[in-house]
Structure formats: structure tokens, C-alpha cells
Structure 1
Amino acid sequence: MDSTTHKPKLSTHIRYIVLALIFVNIIINYMDRTNLSIAMPEMSKELGLSTVQQGLLFSAFGWIYAAMQVPGGILLDKLGSRITYTISLFFWSVITCFQSLVGSFSGILGLRLGIGFFEAPVMPANNRAVSYWFPDNERGTAIGIYSSAQFLGLAFSTPLLFAIHQSIGWRGLFIVTGAIGIVWSIVWFIIYHDPDKSPWVGQDELQYIQDGGGISEAELLKQNANKPKAKITAENLKKLFNRRLIGIYLGQFAISGTFWFFLTWFPTYLTKAKGINFLQSGFLSMIPYLAAFVGVILAGSISDRLIRAGKSESFARKAPVITGLLLTLLIMGANFVSSPALIIMFMSIAFFGNGLATITWVFVTALAPKNLLGLAGGIFNLCGALSSIVIPIVIGFLVAKGNFSSALIFIAAIALLGALSYIFVVGKIDLHENEE
């Protein structure tokens, strides 16, 4: 039976539980990334932080996060998603709690570096887990769903985080968000296993996943028994830096650039540049996040439907990404309006486009050698992480005098470069070219 055209009735559906676990992982992950932007107004007053220092703190997470992508990918290929994720989630959550104790710029800077260190393997681990648990014809939708968690989670957690902040202050905010992660790391360790080690998956579901192209650890070991795994050799570097992979690396920097604007400077943009009060900005910020969530869901489902309908893989996978990057250019429209409704409209269209483009993890699975998925994912995420360094700092300088117009133009220009990369550098792709 062709699993790409018909889904058989299975005795278990553990892969959906795994997807739900990953979904919660990402919500917690991005909650711990964004809590600083919510705490920053009060914290900067208490600690006497300048705008330049604030920009450095926003970017500090990305410094070591980017540097650890490749080592994190190697560790992931050795330890797997279960152990790697448990260690990462537990320790970044502990450090999040420690942020409540700081009393200086250097203290918070050091702790943000620590969070970046332990969060480094997270996105490659998500991609690895989905690649193991989902067949080809479901993988785009699965990636779209877990990618949407960062937007849906931020949309609904942001007002909650504002409320926590208002109730117990910025120090209490760090304690609460850190404690949630510590508890969830235990839940993940207990429940998650790779498919061939899961005590709950049915044999028919396991067979369905593997017949549909899901990655099997046993099969990888068999295929690569005499090959070095996840090592940085000249041969592997050549595979990991071919033209198309370079194209998606560049595209990931562009896509992440828009995201990091919203994750760091967006609340300040609403309150300082547009004069929207603090609490109102917390609720208004939900709208662009929800728009991005819709974009991610549409990207994954439409892409998979196009594949199942017989459209070319290149068109089905690239069209949402290119369209989304071009829609992001409309962020510049906010420069020409003053009404909060119109500002949020332009921001929502731009972030919808960003969500539409966020399905790019599917290209790692499609183009990278299967025995190097962790390492390729690390490089891919490294390029996205570089934007977390560059964007907050550059915007910090661009808005030094309180004018965000040049910052929005900067974000749009990066998005345009990303679209051009997918059009001219990535070129035509084949989902199955690395199966041999």
C-alpha cells in the first residue's frame, strides 16, 4: 500500500504525542527567550542600563548560541534527542531562575550567555525527532505545526508574562518561567523515545513511519557501519556546504532576522516609537504572533498537499518560503502610518509572511546527508542564530535617537536578500536526493 496516498488505520498514534511534546518544548523555549524583553523596561531602570547595553543584552543570547550550533549538532548525533533535550532544557531553566538574582549588567549578560549555551541543540533536536517519527508525506505538516508553537506560544504567553510581571515584578517573572522548564524537562525524559525504542508505539505505526521515509537509527547504523558519523572532515564539509545548502543557510539568516526584531525590540517599538502604553502593547503584540502562527500552519499543510497532488517538490517546498519573505517587505508600511490599527496591520502582514517562510527546516531533511542531519541542522540553526546577534545590536544603533524607520527598512532589506537566495542560489530541489 502506498503510504503517500492513503493512511492505514493504525493501532497507535504515538507520533502525534511526540509532536505535542515538541510543541510544548518550543513554547517554553521561546517563553524563556522573550521574558527578557518584557522585563527590560523595569529592569533597565532598576539596574541603570543604557539603550546600548539593552541591545547588547538582547543579542548576548545569540553569541554563544550561534557558536555552539555545530558542537551541539555533533552532540545530538551522538546522544540523540531524548538525552540532549533533557540536559538542555533542565539547565537553561535553572539559569533562567538565576536571572532573578542579578544586580548588574555583567551579571545578566553572563546568565544570558549561559542560556544561549544550553539552548543551542534545541532546534536541531526538534528536527531530528520529527525526521525519526514522521514519514515524508506528513513531515512538512509536522514541521509546520511545531514551528508554529513559537508564534502561538508567544501570542498567548505574552499577556500572561506581562501579568506575572505586573504582579510579582521582573525577578518573579524569571523564577516562574524557569520553574516551568525544570518540571517539563522531567516530563520529556520520561515520555520521549526514538520510534524503535519507544515502549508505546505499535509495530504497525513503526512500519508505517519507516515505509514512508521516517529515519531509522538501526537502518542508519547498518548503512553507515564503515563510515565516520557526524565528524568534521573535508568530505563532510563539502557535503554540508554545497550550493543549495548555502542558499538555505543564507535564507535562514534572513527569516530569523525578522523574527528577532519581534522577539526583542517590538515591545519597545510599540511603546517608545508609537506611544502605545505598556499594557496595551502586550495585548496588541498578540496579533502579529497569531498572524505568524496562521502563516506557519498554512505553509506546512499547503506544501504537503501540493506534494501529494503531484506538484514538483521544488515548487511545493519553496513557494511558501519565497512568498513569505516577499510579504515581509510590507513591514516598511508601518513607517507611513500612526494609527495603532494600521501599525499592527502592517506588522501582522509582515509577521504572517515570516511564519509562512518558517517551514525551512524541511530543507535540512531534504538536502542534507541523513547521517549528518544533526550537524547540518546545527549549521543551519547557526545561520539563524547569527541574526540573533546582528539584528538586536544593529537596531540598537539605528534607533539610538528614537527613530525606528531605518530599522524597519533594514529588516525589509534582509528579507529581500533571503528571497533572492531561495530563488537564485537554492534553485531546484529534490526531496529524495540524499536517500542513497
Structure 2
Amino acid sequence: MSTQNTYSYAQAREKQVSRATKARILIAVMLFVSVVINYLDRANLSVALPAISEEFHISPAQQGLLLSAFGWTYAALQIPGGWLIDKIPPRILYPACLILWSLATAFMGIFSGFVALIILRLLVGVFEAPAYPINNRVATAWFPDKERGSAIGFYTSGQFIGLALLTPVLTWLQTAFSWHWVFIATGGIGILWGVVWYLVYREPRKMRLANQAEIDHIEAGGGLVDLESAQTERKKTSWADFKAVLTNRKLWGVYIGQFCLTSTLWFFLTWFPTYLVKYRGMDFIKSGFLISLPYIAALVGVLLSGFFSDWMVRRGVSLGVARKGPIIAGLLLSTAMIGANFTDSTAWVIAFLCIAFFGNGFASITWSLVSALAPKRLIGTTGGMFNFIGNLSSIATPIVIGFLVSDVSFAPAFVYITVVTVIGILAYSLLVGKVERQPDPGESLLNA
């Protein structure tokens, strides 16, 4: 009897050991929190801008320049950031970036003045530049293909959850104390999270919470669990590598599409609060509540998109249809923004903008295409190029809108965003084509 009990216990133990752990869920949550902080530090200026512009008597064109300052350095450093990601492990690079951009954010609440705000905003862009390519690098290592869309959708939703739930908190903080505390509070949170990331994050094979069964599950499903070890053996990045990611038609389809997609996002991250306060005549508290509604719509969109896309993959639908379908459908919905030009009703304006931002969220699984298309050895470089071109919109959108709008009309801004969105639909429809991993020029040379 004792022997039988021992045998049963051994069988149960063996079965327990062979069952895959779920450490990748923790990784998804960590990416989610990082994205929440990332986007709070991008959007906090838009919350404080009406108060800042009143205090420093800033014109719409100057406001556009201040709002775009982040984008100049953020976009310019995407390619160097991608290169760094291919060289430095996420456990080191991510917390370093988090702490440095959070310090720059906190100092925005300490050093006042138009010039100081621009300089600090430029620094936030410098240190945030590698963030999203790091997210993609981590997701590619930790999630198999059939789960990656859901994982990307989940952590991407952090940008909307944070903005939807915390924007009213930031507007209250500004009203109760001053706009300075908007930056001090968000910066302090980021510094703490950078320390947590360093202490907790590990690659799949080094994470104690992940057993071999989970690692095998990820690897068998297309997750690149050995990316870190491959980095140490990697040859220097050559001009041929940059040429490979710059001359590929499919990659240009996602580059252009990302610029168009993020143009809508950057409208909401920059001019939307000013639009409600200045052009719709709302106070800060009411505008803070209404700002949250499109963000909630976008949150629903991005969560539905990721799970719907992975559901289609599991049902045998081609990767191209499963990934591109939600993106194109979401971009089509985003054109609803133009409806705001044809009504004076605040309720209808918010309804049109909710539909548009729901579509933007539904389309925002674009990083899943980077994971599927990028050459294995150049995931960071491709992600950097993708984010560089995509986030040129962070420069263009605030500046173009600043010059298009007048003191009495915001209508040209909605026309501009709608036209850009249509271009994005054409890019994904006509340029991307079949979704498949693109050839690596280095491997081609070795096989020649």
C-alpha cells in the first residue's frame, strides 16, 4: 500500500512538473504596466497644456511646437534604439530608459518656462525611443505565434486604460494643486517601476517561474526563446542589414500604415484636450471626464482586436487575414472622425471621436506584423525603423494641426487626420501582401 501511494505521488509529481507554467502572463502584465507609464508620460503635457499656455501666453503655433518636441527626438532615435535592442538585453536597457525618461518628466514640474519645457520634452523622447521596440522584442521571445496577437493587444491596451482611468486623476491633480504636480507624480511612478522591472524581468530560459514545458511550448509555437544568446553571437550590423529593412515593399507597407495609424493617436495625445477646452468651451474637470470616453472606446477596440486576431489564427485563417483584417477595419472606422465637422452637438462630437478611437484601438495590433515579417536577426532594427517612420506622426500631427486650425475653427484638423487615415488603408491593402517572414541578408550570404 505504501509502495502504491509512493508510485501515485511520483506520477502526480511528474504530471505536475510536465504541465507548462504561465510565467508569460506575468511578462504580459509587466509590459502592460510599462505601457501605461509610457503613455502617461507622453500625454501628461496635453492635460497640462491649457493651463501652461494660459500662464505663458503661448500661441497655437507655439503649442504645436511644444507638443511636437517629444516626437523630434523620439522618432530620430528609433533606428539607434533598435540597434541598441539587438545588443543590450531588455533587463538592462528597459529600466535604464524608464528611470531616465521619468526623471526628465518629473523635472518638467520643477523647471518652468517655455524653453525648459521644450528641452525636457526632447529628453523624454530620447529615453522613450527604445520602449516599444523593447516591448516587441520581449513579446517575440515570450509568446508563441498563436498567443502573440492577444499579448500585444493586451499590453497595448495599457496606453488606453492608463489614459482613460488616469487622465481624470491628472486633471483633478492639476485643479487641486497645480499643473506642476501632473509631471512630478507621473515621473515618480516611472522611476519606481524601472527598479521593479530590473528586479523581476528575465529571459525565458533564465526565469525561475517558467519551467521547461512552458519554454518548449513557446519555442514550438514560434517564440524566439533564445534571442539573448543569439545576440551574443551576432555579427556587426552592416549596411546590408539597413538596406534589407529599407528596400522591402512589405515592410514599407507597415511603415507607412503605422505613420497613418499613429497620426490619429497623436491627435488624441496632443490636441484633443485643447480642442474640448478652447473650441468646445468646457472646463478642465468636464473635459477630463469626456477625454476618457474615447480612450475607453480605444481600450475596447484594442482588446477585441488582439483576441479576435488570435482566434482567427487558431481557426486556420491565414496570418495575413488574421493580422491585416482588424487593422484595415479599424482604420476604416477611424475615418468617422470627419463627422465632428458636421455637428454642433457635443454629444455627437464625442460619439464620432469614440468611434474613431475605437477603430484606432482595433487597428493597433500592427506590432504583430513586425513580429511576423521582420528577419529573425533584425527584429530590433526592423522594429526601430517601423517605430521611426510611424512616429514621424508625433512631429507632423501637432505641428500641422497647429498651423491648420484658427482661433475659431478646428475643422481642418479633422480633414487632415481623415485623409492620412485613408492613405494608411491603401498602404496595408496594396503593399503588405502575404504575411511571411522576410529573408535575412546575412543568412543569404552564409548559404551562398
TM-score range, shorter chain: over 0.9
What residue identity is the alignment partner of 1:228?
Answer: K
Aligned equivalents of 2:192, 2:147: Cα separation in 1: 30
Q: Which amino acid aligns with 1:119?
A: E
342, 345, 361: which one aligns with 2:348: 342
Out of 220, 223, 235, which is 1:228 matched to? 235
Confirm whether residue 161 of structure 1 aligns to residue 170 of structure 2.
yes
Aligned partner of residue 101 in structure 1, secondary structure: coil
Matches of 1:239 and 1:261, distance apart in 2 = 28
Deviation at 1:293, TM superposition (A): 0.8
- Match of residue 333, structure 1, among 335, 339, 361: 339
Q: Is the deviation greater in 62-71 or in 198-207?
A: 198-207
In structure 2, distance between residues paired with 1:177 and 1:59: 19
Query: Superposed, which structure 2 residues align to 1:269-418 within 5 Å?
Result: 269-418=275-424
Contact 1:367 1:433 (8 Å CA) reproduced: no
Q: Distance in 1 between matches of 2:240 and 2:425?
A: 30
Task: Return the offset for 1:395.
Answer: 0.2
Distance 1:239 1:257, change over 3 A: closer
| The 10-residue stretch of structure 1 (199-208 or 321-330) with the greater mean CA deviation from structure 2 | 199-208
1:31-86 CA distance string (max 9 Å, x none): 11111111111112222322211110100000011110010111111112111111
Q: Indicate the residue corresponding to 2:256 in structure 1.
A: 250
Deviation of the 1:98 alpha carbon: 0.8
1:144-183 alignment runs, 5 A limit:
144-183=153-192
Q: In terms of Rg, which structure is larger? A: 2
Q: TM-score, normalised by structure 2?
A: 0.91
Cα gap change, 1:180 to 1:73, in 2 (>3 Å): same
Report the Cα distance in structure 2 between the residues aligned to 1:274 and 1:289, rounded to whole angstroms.
18
C-alpha separation in 2, matches of 1:166 and 1:10:
52
Match of 2:69 among 49, 60, 63: 60
Partner Cα separation in structure 1 for residue 388 and residue 242 of structure 2: 17
CA distance in structure 2 between the aligned counterparts of 1:145 and 1:419, rounded to whole angstroms: 23
Q: Work out whether 1:112 is the aligned partner of 2:118.
A: no
2:298·2:359 contact (CA, 8 Å) conserved in 1?
A: yes
Q: Over residues 352-383 of structure 1, what are the superposed CA-to-partner deviations in whole Å (9 max), with x where a residue is unaligned?
A: 11011110001111111111111110010111
User: 185, 193, 218: which one pairs with 2:194?
Assistant: 185
Bigger drift between 164-173 and 109-118 goes to 164-173
Code of the aligned partner of 1:26: V
List runs of 5+ in structure 2 lacking aligned partners.
1-16, 444-448
> Distance in 2 between the 1:249 and 1:432 partners?
15
Which segment drifts farther, 365-374 or 266-275? 266-275
User: How much has 1:172 moved relative to structure 2?
Assistant: 1.6
SS of structure 2 residue aligned to 1:257: helix
CA 1:240–1:134: 2 relative to 1, 3 Å = farther
RMSD: 1.9
Deviates more, 1:144-153 or 1:56-65: 144-153
CA–CA distance in 1 between the matches of 2:228 and 2:271? 46
The answer to whether the aligner puts 1:74 opposite 2:83 as a matched pair is yes
Are the aligned partners of 1:73 and 1:378 in contact in 2 as well (CA < 8 Å)? yes
Q: Secondary structure of 2:112's partner?
A: coil
- 2:273 is matched with 267
Give the aligned partner of residue 432 of structure 2: 426
**Amino acid of the structure 2 residue aligned with 1:221:** A
Distance in structure 1 (CA, Å) of the matches to 2:284 and 2:240: 52
**Superposed displacement of residue 218, structure 1:** 6.0
Q: Distance in 2 between matches of 1:272 and 1:160?
A: 20
Supply the distance in 1 between the matched residues of 2:229 and 2:169 (Cα, whole angstroms): 44
How many angstroms does 1:9 deviate by? 7.7
> 1:67 is aligned with what amino acid?
A
The whole-number CA distance in structure 1 between the counterparts of 2:252 and 2:180 is: 41
C-alpha displacement of 1:433:
7.4
Give the Cα–Cα distance (whole angstroms) in 2 for the partners of residues 74 and 235 of structure 1.
Answer: 11
Which stretch shifts more, 336-345 or 25-34? 336-345
Cα distance between partner residues in 2 of 1:398 and 1:410: 9
Do the aligned partners of 2:75 and 2:388 also contact (CA within 8 Å) in 1?
yes
Unaligned 5+ runs, structure 1: 1-7
TM-score by length of 1: 0.94
